[in-house]
Amino acid sequence: MVFPAAGGEKTLKGLVAELKATNAEFARSKREVFKSSYSNHYRSGLMKLLGVLDFRSSNDQHKPVMDALKLIERHKGSSTTYLPLGETIPLEGVVRKDWMEFALFTPDKGPKRVMRTVYEACVFQALRDRLRCKEIWVVGADKWRNPDDDLPDDFEVRRAEYYEKLNKPREAKVFTAQLQAEMRAELGALDTKLPKLPWVTISGKHRNGAIKFTEPEPQKEPKNLRKLKKAIRKKWGTVALIDILKEAALRTGMLKALAPVGTREAIDEAKLLERLLLIAYAYGTNSGISSVASGEHKHTEEELRYTARRYLTAGGLKDAGVEIANATFAARSEAVWGQGTTTVASDSTHFKAWDRNIFTEWHSRYGGRGVLVYWHIEKGSMAIHSQLLNCTASEVAAAIEGMMRHATTMQAEGNYVDSHGQSEIGFGLTRLLGYDLLPRIKQINKVKLYRPGREDEDTYERLADAMTRPIRWGVIENNYDQLIKYATAIRVGTASTEAILRRFTRTASHPVYQAMLEVGRAQKTIFVARYLRDRDLQREIQEGLNVVEGWNGANDIIFFGKSGELSGNRRDQQELSVLALHLLQTALSGNSEPSTAENSGHYIHVDEPEVAVEAIGDVTGG
């Protein structure tokens, strides 16, 4: 980069000032557009909603927003430019500073006036922020209900049972003592072994953080893997994806999970099976029912659409996927697949959606409009759970939900995630819920290790440059019962992880949030200390994440219709497409291994575990 010479036409400071001015002007233009859009279009709809919904708050801190809503309600039928002078108009805590110039008008004579439509837009923005953290809630709602309803109402009566289900001690000091002992053990092990670890050094002299870490080198490809794939492809060729789905249906009875909406059914069972397979294929490949109806079979498009309306539901598709997964786990040969695992890898992938309405979202990381799908995949490339998410949803919450809500027989005790699936609050929640969060942390060089106690100030000399303050155990102990209550709410499903995290992360002063953060900092320190010294753990996490990356790669092949873009913004239809894709993937994982990328929908078909054993024998001469 060449910098301007001193005294030139544009100095570096001038460029910075120009950039700031440009950004400020752009932000101002966005507010102008928003103000115009609200006044000319969205206001009428929002006023109708305001008359239907009953907003409440249990916190007086948000009284200005509640008063502002009542003020808007009183004058919603007005067409005046300004709010009346006699009204008490809350501004502090309602109108942001960058909106004040739009909301207030100062005439040549007389007092300042408040622009009615601009003030309304500011109130709705403030309401949106409070709704997201549930400081303001809606009477009779589900997702936006009173946050007190998220917690189990029988906790006081069943406290002992809930503690036992989470495998947590009743005494807070026992819990903190266990956590503190683990911290000391892992930090001590890292401090002792650090001089013998060539891949990690800790020093305050490093430029980009105290920890300097070298990733594990790529492992060599198994000697006969390519020969094995070639032998399988030569002996069995390719099989159409819909035939693989048919095999899975016949072997597992998974289509019984697709129960009809209603009590009467007159369709012949064989015809129904064919239709359901075609519909699942149409949704799962994104090719659509019209395209599938033109194939060589006797089912019309009208018949397929009728059957889809009656049989295809999100719950049914989830249950069908679980049927295949459970059947696969039961039938797996340890000689082929190795010993079963208790860990899964999870990650999100981005699906584009056609831009048709205001509900379309743009994802900054993936750089496009659409939705996210979050997968939980075990070592043998079998999905145990999938979720359709908004682009703004928390991947930490999605990772926890998948571990808690999967309905398969797998006993999942550990979760590999990437950097976006972990956080300090995530470590805290997973510790309380009783499973290991095993992330690949992108900027591990900047991670800080917390001290177990003040008495450990000079204990870990080799780690000193990466260490920070002690954990505040008193904060955890004072809120321990509430921590268990929130963890129980997630475990039993009275509240979603997303709802709890949304409430906490937007109200950082919440005492339970502070306590959960301290638990998370302690657990993250334990994990990082173990991760840095254990090369096998590093490879294990990398291998797990490679499995889910391979799953996402197969999605591009299977979901080929319409260039892989979801063709609508209806949430229910998007979910059906994603769950049908999940179904195809599980059928494929239970029966076969994907070939090289072809959009034909054909895959190598390994019918039984014994087939793979036979192929191995052919290749190795065994």
Q: What's the pLDDT at 386? A: 94
Alpha-carbon span 106 to 111, nearest angstrom: 7
Chain length of the chain: 622
Alpha-carbon span 34 to 103, nearest angstrom: 13
Q: Which CA distances in Å does 319 have to 253, 367, 378, 548, 619? A: 11, 33, 18, 21, 38
DSSP structural state of residue 425: H
Alpha-carbon span 498 to 142, nearest angstrom: 13
pLDDT in tens, 532-552: 999 999 999 999 999 999 888
With a CB cutoff of 8 Å and minimum separation 6, the contacts of 20 are none
Q: What's the pLDDT at 607? A: 39
Positions in the chain whose pLDDT score sits under 70: 1-10, 14-28, 30-32, 34-35, 262-265, 336-338, 356-359, 505-508, 591-622
Q: What's the pLDDT at 427? A: 96
Q: What's the pLDDT at 374? A: 94
Q: What's the pLDDT at 594? A: 36
Q: What's the pLDDT at 610? A: 39
What DSSP string runs through 107-157? -SSS--EEBHHHHHHHHHHHHHHHHHTTSSEETT-STTS-GGGGS-TTTTT
Alpha-carbon span 321 to 410, nearest angstrom: 13
**238 alpha carbon, distance to own chain's centre:** 35
* Ranges of each domain in the chain: 23-145
Q: What's the pLDDT at 612? A: 39
Q: What's the pLDDT at 28? A: 64
Q: What's the pLDDT at 18? A: 63
